[in-house]
Amino acid sequence: LSPTGRAYLLYGLSLAGVDYGSMLDKLVAEPQGLSAYGKALLALALFELGKREPAERLANELELAVAKAPAPQGASWGEEDGPGWERDPVESSAAVVRALVLAKPVSARVGEAVRWLMAAREEDHWQSTRDTAMAVYALVDYLKKAGSEELQAEVSAGLNGAPAGKVALGRAELL
């Protein structure tokens, strides 16, 4: 299992309240093999387990390691032609947004990355269902932290190319 794969596993376990301290400590001490996505997942796991200081350290590294200098379309992490999910720019950027929202919510990189995620959509979705899910998780975390009073959304679903349903959501349903 790659270091980023281990970070993904540890993040999932942390959501269940499981703390594999020695594995977490090893990745924190030796983060060199982690992609940006892996560092973000590790930071999220540490936050989930109440280990704020090492999580904030990783978030600081991520903030400085933006893959592309902020441009009109925003900031991102990952590689367009990177190998596999571990370096996917949408998933990587979404995970970094989630980590930065927890550690550094006022960072300019948060808004820049949200802008990039929105620009990376292909019509009303991202490249894959996995990309779409990760981007939506990040955007929900961002909106929760931003505390917008005017939250509204309309969600449409399709099945085999045919409309399957549509629902309007307000603040109460979204958060």
Tokens of 72: 């009109």
pTM for this model (two decimals):
0.81
Q: Are 60 and 102 in contact (CB under 8 A)?
A: no
Task: List the end-to-end C-alpha distance of the chain, in Å, as a whole number.
Answer: 35
What is the 8-class DSSP label of residue 32?
Answer: G
Name 70's Cβ contacts closer than 8 Å, sequence gap at least 6: 108, 109, 112
Tokens of 53: 């200081």
Of 86, 109, 106, 83, the closest CA to residue 96 belongs to 109
Average pLDDT over all residues of the chain: 87
Banded pLDDT at 81 (limits 50, 70, 90):
low
pLDDT one-digit tens code per residue, 89-136: 999 999 999 999 999 988 889 999 999 999 999 888 898 899 999 999
